[in-house]
Structure 1
Amino acid sequence: MSVRLLLAESVSSSTLTTDRLVATAAAFVALAGAVTGALALARASRRRTVVALSAGAIGVLVGVLVLATADGGPGTGNGVVGGYAAIVFGLAAVVLGGLAVAHSRRAA
């Protein structure tokens, strides 16, 4: 009985659920923040630094929210994989943005 229940709760990998959409959007925002943070570190820009820090924080917060509300693990349609990706990319963006801030303060 529990095997049937477990199989009934999982969805196809190609099915786009609301949770997967939110988690994927958060992962893309966080990834864009990480890329912007790397660019801010390469060339000092206050705007890029703010974008990297903001996008990273948003990615982490939404990723944590997705994981906190998930009912199951990967493959259940709850956006768990995207939530973890958003957290990883968001933390990378925050770290790169922080390094860019520290670098710009040393240069000034």
Structure 2
Amino acid sequence: MSLPSVLAPVHAGPSAHLLAADVLTVSTGRVAASASAVVALVGLVAGALALARATGRLRSGNARARALVALVASPIGIVVGAVVVLTAEGGLGTGNGLGGGVVAALLGLAGLALGGLALSRSPLSRTA
């Protein structure tokens, strides 16, 4: 399955209309994708705050602890988002959480990068 076939619109034929989910339909794919996006967003925010603290732009909080939160939460968001993407049947708009899984994976990657950067810039890592 190639990327263009996964991201293809649902308007492929008359039977595709039956596959599309309603906006308010709650499926397990959507719930898992939303939960992983929230976890990845927590990692992203923690990484951004840790980086701001490590560079001296924020005076309160512990940069190392926030960076560790980012380095734990972000991979969880990446893994769960990737599982949702890999198990989603159909394309975008079918209610299987494909879009949310992609967003969760991207947020998790950004949070992982920010957390790693903040941890490398934290004062405790420079004492070696």
The normalised TM-score by structure 1 is 0.91
Q: Which amino acid aligns with 2:25?
A: T
How many residue pairs get aligned? The number is 106
Structure 2: gaps (5+ residues):
1-11, 55-62
Structure 1: gaps (5+ residues):
none
The normalised TM-score by structure 2 is 0.78
Structure with the bigger percentage of helix? 1
- In the alignment, structure 1 residue 89 sits paired with structure 2 residue 112: no
RMSD between superposed Cα atoms in Å: 1.3
Q: Tell me the distance in 2 between the aligned counterparts of 1:85 and 1:56.
A: 12
Deviation at 1:17, TM superposition (A): 1.0
Deviation at 1:26, TM superposition (A): 0.4
- In the alignment, structure 1 residue 6 sits paired with structure 2 residue 16: yes
- In the alignment, structure 1 residue 98 sits paired with structure 2 residue 108: no
Find 1:29's aligned residue among 13, 35, 39.
39
- In the alignment, structure 1 residue 66 sits paired with structure 2 residue 116: no
The corresponding residue for 1:55 is: 73
4+ residue runs of structure 1 moved beyond 3 angstroms? none
